[in-house]
Structures are given as structure tokens and as C-alpha cells.
Structure 1
Amino acid sequence: MKGGPTYKILMLKKHLEKFNIIIDLFNQWEVDSVKNYDIVHIFNAHSGVYHFAQSLKLNNIKYIVNPIFFSKHSPMKIRLYLYFLNKISNFLNGTISEISIVKEVCKNAELIMPNTIEEENIIKKGLGLFNYNYSTIYNGVEKRFLYSDPSLFIKKYKIKDFILHVGHIGAKRKNTLRLLKALKTINYPTVIIGNVLNNKEGQKCLELIKENTNILFLDWVKHSDPLLESAYAASKVFVLPSLYETPGRSALEAGLAKSNIVITPFGGTKEYFSNYATYVNPYSIKKIQESIINSINSNRSDNLSIHIKQNFLWEIIAKKLKTEYEKLLTL
């Protein structure tokens, strides 16, 4: 499965091309070719694109940026951090930090396109970029998950209406260890789909999975595999209690497939799931337990699926982005 930014690029490319927009993926060995394009769209404001963005600015080539920036720290702490970093850099021959790079790449863009309004507020208040052009472009979801058929998964594994979690097991941000500890006292069928990272947390997670007889563990299922769609549709509850998500692609897919969603409140998830999901404190095992149990006991509803269909299909996201491109070309 492609990582978040790469997946977003490919999905937007696919749907923008339906509007007869010519989209080429950047080749770092053909830097001079960018002069032939009307707009350069950068995804992820990090050190790997810093010099490229600087070059675009020097050559008066318009670019827009999806920063993909999130911090659990308050805007005040971010500002103080930047202040001290700037002071220190004077003694370190102009060494620039990752957070300073985010600011510089955003500052020189014609348009800043955060994934959420929450991200926009962090950039404005934390990085001090108030008087700049912003337009929120949300992450999307493929329409195929709306038509997911639960029968494929049910026939293969003889299980339905279960708790489902999909993700990298052992990644600290994904918080799988706390989830598995919460599941120890919930006597309910559970399916975990994901690859186990080769680290201490990953091994601890694997031990808990093996100890829990309620858990069916499946190694990574390809994103294109109909079995994944079917797993979403066959589940009763999809749980993603990460430390933060922006917004959690798997949760969007599961929500479109009509599973009840339990998810972190951090990272802008409420802008996607509104009041159609259960938000859980990811630092509390007890709260994770309670939220899962409440969702098990709640009836299924089409409300979240309808909400996602109306607002977050890639076709809708691409259409808004097309409008932003057109606005930029008239400047």
C-alpha cells in the first residue's frame, strides 16, 4: 500500500486527468523541465523539497504546497521553539531545522493547501504565517469502498460483525499496543490486519496478539485486494486510536463501508467524521475499552457513509483542486 502522500498524489492525478488536465510526476533528474509547466504542486514540506522550492521561487515559477504538517504542541510552544532555533542557527553556520523548512517552503508558495482547518491554524499561529493564501484540500477515499461486499471475508474466515483494526503494528503513533491491551478484557471477535514492525513495540504487540484467542491476525492485505473492502464491510466496529491521524485513510474507507468508527480526536479527524464517529482518548486503555464496547452495542447507521460519499470521494476533492488551479492561473 502506498504511503499517504504518494497515494494522495496518484489519486489526484487520476481524477484530475479526467478533467483533461495534463499532470506529470516530477523527475528529479529533469529539473529544468519544470519551466514548461503552469503550476508545480509540492506534497509534503520537508527537507527533501527545500532546495527545489527555493529554486522555483528564484526562477519565478509558481508553486503550491500541501505541507502535511502536524504538531501536538501548542502554537505558542512552536513559536518559542522557532525563536530559539533561529538564535542557535546564528552560531551553527545557518543550519536550518525541519520545522523552519516547513515555514520557508510554505512562505514562498502561491497557495498553502493544508489537509484540515486544524493544520491551517497550526501553520498560521505556530509558524506565524497569517497573511498568506490558504485553501483546505481534504484527503479523499475511493468510491469502491461504498460498494464493499462482506460475503467474501465472511465465507473465507467464517466471522462477521467483528472489531477491526488495520495499520502498521508497532508504530508508536498508531498506538496499537494500548489497543491490544484494551482488547484483552473484551470478549469479542477481533480481526487485526497489518505488518508487524521489527522493533520492541512491534514484538510486544505480536505477543499480545498471540495470547488473545479472540484475535484473527492477518498479515498485510494489499490495498487493491477486494478482501480488504470486504473486511471493512463485514466488521461491526473499526478502531483507530492513534496518537493522531490526518485523518486516517483506513477509517475513511471503513466508514464508507458502513462500519462504526472509533477514532482519535487528534489531527483534524473531527473535520472528516463530524459527529458520526466515537472519539476516544488514545492515552487511556480504559477509555479505548469503553468506546469499543459502546460501538459494539450501537446499531449500524448509513449516516457516516453518506457524509463521506457527499464530501470526501476523490472525484469531489479533485474537482475542488481543479478550481484552485484555475484561480491560480488567473493571477
Structure 2
Amino acid sequence: MRVAVLSYPMLFQTQGGLQNQIIETIAALQRRGIKAELINPNTQKLTDFDLVHLFSAINGNHRIAEYAKAFGLPVVTSPLIQPHWTRGMGRWARLLESLVGKTTNWNIKTEYRMIESCLRNSDCVIALGETERQCIIEAFGISGDLVRVIPNGIPERFFNASPNLAIEMLKASEPFILNVAAINPYKNQLTLTRAIASTGMKLVLVGDCLPFQQSYLEKILAYEHVTYIGKLDYDAPLLASLYAAASVFCLPSLSEVMPLSALEALAAGTPVVLTENHCMNLEGFGAMVKEVPPNNEQAIRDAISALLRQGSDGKVRSALAKTYTWEAVGESIYKCYKDVLARV
């Protein structure tokens, strides 16, 4: 089975959760003997493959799904639908699409119509959690029979991480808050910085900062309690060690789907403060995860304080180790491919 994996053109110019998800998915599939590869549509033909797996339904990716279907190829899409796509938002988006269409003689399409086209041209849609599944069904009118829930996995190295390397690098053993994400207003590090400024806690940031976000980073670094490590490779031993050494991991983004970084922190035994705008299934995580409004500094501060008093829970790590493995993810996606190929 040959599988063409694609996403939008500029994705791999930076490093983040989606990039890691794609790389780990391909590796898990290849370990099962599936010939999955990230292809270059400028030099490789879709028709040389048995199936197309598309990651993300935005940034023009609907055209990939449309072309694949035109060529008679089955399409599996991992769309990463944000939680704001509710049933009500879908109704408003369809109304707006109608107004824009009539005004422009149907020459302009909204983002909603592009996402819908991507989903409707897919033979199977993979949601990362039940919340995302409901968004796909309710906002875009996709049949529930076509939507499967397959979560992200967690590499084994995060379960076995030691804090020693991070403690040595930071040259201090005092507690710190960790944030791993691209540095930008959407990931909301400045709000987190302000939230803990009066607590005496240190904040350690890890992530790429693009040149046009440099001024945002400078505002953050104006606070003395912040240490910016910069970009780390996903398999860097220091990254896993930082997760293990942190007292709390905090990701107060404006919105997330199923952030790998939050799962990685939990795998390392570190409790998590997470934006309330997400699609993760928190069942089984107990008190190890607290949700916060992303722009409420007091709520972020209170959640961090509560987790500091509480500490870790080994049962959550054990549950994660059984459920969120890339081997299990690869097996589920493989079954999805087989089912799709059997009915097309």
C-alpha cells in the first residue's frame, strides 16, 4: 500500500505540533510496512499512490482533496478542526457564504466552504477527539459514519524522561513553569508571563520565533523571570528533560485541537494548565489538567497555584502509556486505510 501524505506548502518551514504529528504518523505507518511518504506535488504524481492522506483542511488544502477525487483516488483527511466550529457557527458561516457568493457572482469562496469541500471530498475523516468529531458533524454536516476518532500518540522518550539534563542546563533547581510552543500572540505567552510575574515563579519558554514575531518575544523577555531557550529539535534529549523537570506545563493558547505538547508533559508526569478552547478528551486525566480562559491572568495564576499544591499522579502516566502510543495510532490509521480501500 502506497500512501501520499500532504499538507500545505509552507508547513515545514517551521516546527510545531502538526509537523510532529505528520512525522510520527508516517514513522508509525512505515513500521507497519506501509509505504507512506510526505510527497512533493510539484515533482510527484498523486496517481502513483493508492491513497492520499491529507493533514489540515485549511490553507488551500481543499484543492488537494478535490484533485485526488477527480483522479479517482481515495482520500483520508485529518482536518484539525478548531473548537469554535459549532452548529451555530456553521449556520452563520453558510449564511455568510451565500451572501459572499451572491455579491461576487460566486467567484469568491469563504474559508468555511473550502473546509467543507475538503471534508466532503474525503472518504474518511480522522478527528483527534470526540469534540472535534462533533464539530465536523454539526458545523459542516458530515455524516458521523465517515468520522473516526484516532488521537495523537506520545513517543516513548517522554515517559522515560529524566529532569537531570534540564536542571543542569538551567543551573538551578527551583520550580519553574514550562511552555513549549511557537512564540506568537496566538500561543499567548505574554499573558502567561504577566500572570505569574508576581508569584516569584520562573517561566521557561521553548519554541521557534519567526522574525515578524520578534517584537512580541522582546515584550516577554522584558520580564526578569523569563528564560527563553529557543527552538529545540523534537527528539532533543533536553526537550523531554524539560518536561520532566517542570513543576507545571502551561499552554494558554487562544485555541488548540489536541496539543501534543500537553500530552508529552503529562507523559513526563507534569500537570498541565490548558486553554479551555480545545478538542481534547480529558476523561481519565483527573485533576492533572486544569482548563482556563486564555486571556484571564487570574484564572491562569490560580490554576498553576492549585497544581503546584497538588503534585503529580502516576496513574495518569500509566493510562497514557497504554492508550496514547504511536503503535496504537498507526494500527488504527492502517485499519482506516483498509476500510476505505475496500469500499472504493
- Considering fraction of residues, name the structure with more strand: 2
Counterpart residue number, 1:88: 100
SS of corresponding position for 2:25: helix
Counterpart residue number, 1:233: 244
Counterpart residue number, 2:110: 97
Matched, 1:250 2:288: no
Question: Quick one: structure 1 residues 209 and 49, their matched pair in 2 at CA, closer, same or farther if it must change by over 3 Å?
Answer: closer
Cα contact 2:255–2:275 (8 A) shared by 1: yes
Return the letter of the residue paired with 2:176: F
Unpaired runs of 5+ in structure 2?
A: 1-13
Matched, 1:314 2:296: no
1:134-173 maps to which residues of 2 (within 5 A)?
Answer: 134-160=147-173, 161-169=175-183, 171-173=184-186
Counterpart residue number, 2:7: none
Candidates 74, 82, 93, aligned match of 1:70: 82
Question: Quick one: structure 1 residues 9 and 73, their matched pair in 2 at CA, closer, same or farther if it must change by over 3 Å?
Answer: closer
Question: Quick one: structure 1 residues 51 and 168, their matched pair in 2 at CA, closer, same or farther if it must change by over 3 Å?
Answer: closer
Cα contact 1:117–1:136 (8 A) shared by 2: yes
CA–CA distance in structure 2, aligned partners of residues 317 and 272 of structure 1 = 18
SS of corresponding position for 1:297: helix
Question: Quick one: structure 1 residues 178 and 328, their matched pair in 2 at CA, closer, same or farther if it must change by over 3 Å?
Answer: same
Counterpart residue number, 1:222: 233
Shift of 1:321: 0.7
Matched, 1:294 2:306: yes
Counterpart residue number, 2:297: 285
Question: Quick one: structure 1 residues 132 and 47, their matched pair in 2 at CA, closer, same or farther if it must change by over 3 Å?
Answer: farther
Shift of 1:324: 1.1
CA–CA distance in structure 2, aligned partners of residues 324 and 24 of structure 1 = 17
Shift of 1:198: 4.7
Matched, 1:56 2:61: no
Q: How well do the aligned residues superpose, as a CA RMSD in angstroms? A: 2.2
Matched, 1:323 2:335: yes
Per-residue CA distance 1:17-75 (angstroms, 9 max, x = gap)? 111111132321346x3234322111112353333322222232211111112142542
CA–CA distance in structure 1, aligned partners of residues 19 and 131 of structure 2 = 22
Shift of 1:100: 0.5
TM-score calculated relative to the size of structure 2: 0.87
Shift of 1:250: 1.6
SS of corresponding position for 2:37: coil
CA–CA distance in structure 2, aligned partners of residues 211 and 145 of structure 1 = 29
Candidates 39, 64, 88, aligned match of 1:26: 39
Unpaired runs of 5+ in structure 1?
A: none
Cα contact 2:193–2:203 (8 A) shared by 1: no
Percent of paired sites with the same residue: 23
SS of corresponding position for 1:135: strand
Shift of 1:190: 3.1
Return the letter of the residue paired with 2:203: T
1:184-223 maps to which residues of 2 (within 5 A)?
Answer: 184-198=197-211, 203=215, 206-212=218-224, 214-223=225-234
The number of residues matched between the two structures is 327
Per-residue CA distance 1:81-107 (angstroms, 9 max, x = gap)? 222312321331322122101101111
